[in-house]
Amino acid sequence: MDDIIKYILEEDIGFGDITSNTLIPEDKCFDARIVSREEGILAGVEIIKSLFQEYGIEVISSMNDGDGIAEGDVILELSGNARTILTLERTALNLLMRMCGVATATNRVAGKVREVNPKIRIAGTRKTMPALKRFDKLAIAIGGGDTHRYSLDDMVMIKDNHIAVVGSVKEALAIAKENISFSKKIEIEVETKEDAIIAAEGGADIVMFDNMGFEESQETLKLLEEKNLRDRVLIEFSGDVNEDNILDYALLDVDIISLGALTHSSRSLNLGLDMD
């Protein structure tokens, strides 16, 4: 994450902040505040504090990650070299605004679902902003969600394209179980009732219902229960689920609902930096 922030700064600064360096004396010190322009969930403030402190800016006061914020709340109070504060401003705000947006969306969805079914985990996906995956995942966790996989080496996740290459759900599971360490879980996507049964019987740890629709998902869960297979696996819903229909799915016997929209479609929260 430090390397990514360094790159973002280098990209933004170029050969120097010619505006601040032209207008502001080199030794001019000033106070500044990062202020919320709307309500949401705060995420990423510890990262931003470290960024300012690394460049010699004093953090006078700060709210905490996970805090609810309202319009006008002072998230961070800073004091130090005015040129430095202004040079860091855009990078700090861009990261903080995005992380707050992801955390706010996660918190909103998870809160709705838990009112209906407290046991369900709301999870993100790998549909994150390139290079910002760790920031997005941290924001999901702060917002009360499950991060799901951080990277490809977290677990075996057999998707439709893997199955297309290998030939079948049954064959893909057999190969995975023969070759992977006991320490790694195996998840597999299924699109039909038949494949869900094969996956549960074949030893998958997690069966993901991918774009199956509400009625077929309901029927598949009932069939797994009838065959005494439901308790063998975790069930994850993904694909067809969105914020508009998620409460319908939450009424079913499901363990995890994952939504790529938490990261690929969340709106950044409106924050600003004011020089006092």
Q: Which sequence positions are flagged as catalytic? A: 127
With residue 161 as reference, give the H or E element that holds it: helix 160-166
Residue 31 DSSP label: E
CB within 8 Å of 114: residues ≥ 6 apart: 120
| Rounded-to-integer distance, Cα 42 and Cα 16, Å | 30
Q: What angle do CA 218, 221, 225 make, to 5 degrees?
A: 140
- Rounded Cα distance between 75 and 139, Å, is 16
Judge contact between 263 and 124, C-beta under 8 A: yes
Three-state DSSP class for 190?
strand
Name 224's Cβ contacts closer than 8 Å, sequence gap at least 6.
196, 197, 200, 230, 233, 235
- Cβ distance 141 to 107 under 8 Å? no
Contacts of 180 (CB under 8 A, 6+ apart): 156, 186
Sign of the CA dihedral with 134 first, then 140, 144, and 148 last: negative
